[in-house]
Amino acid sequence: MNIDSEIIFLVEESAEGGYQARALGESIFTEAENMAELKQNVKEAVLTHFEEGQHPPVIRLHFVKEELMKI
């Protein structure tokens, strides 16, 4: 991944409560009880995943909401 790029996380509500986030194109996954905790966990996961100074400068959270409709 180029240092000038961003990393995108898909964020979904967890079936057990709270939130889970999964990075696109990288093996990074984290979860948390609330949004503030999730944002902190995502930052920590990115910094841990990449070598020092090699992480993307921007983290984008893409919120996915699934809704079931019956006909």
Residues 6+ apart with CB under 8 A from 1: 7, 25, 26, 50, 56
- Residue 19 domain-assigned? yes
Low-confidence ranges of the chain (pLDDT < 70): 1-4
Number of compact structural domains in the chain: 1
* Cα separation, 39 vs 36, whole angstroms: 5
Q: Which pLDDT score is estimated for 4?
A: 60
Residue 70 within a domain: no
Q: Do the domain assignments include residue 1?
A: no
Say what the pLDDT of residue 15 is.
Answer: 87
Task: State residue 46's pLDDT score.
Answer: 97
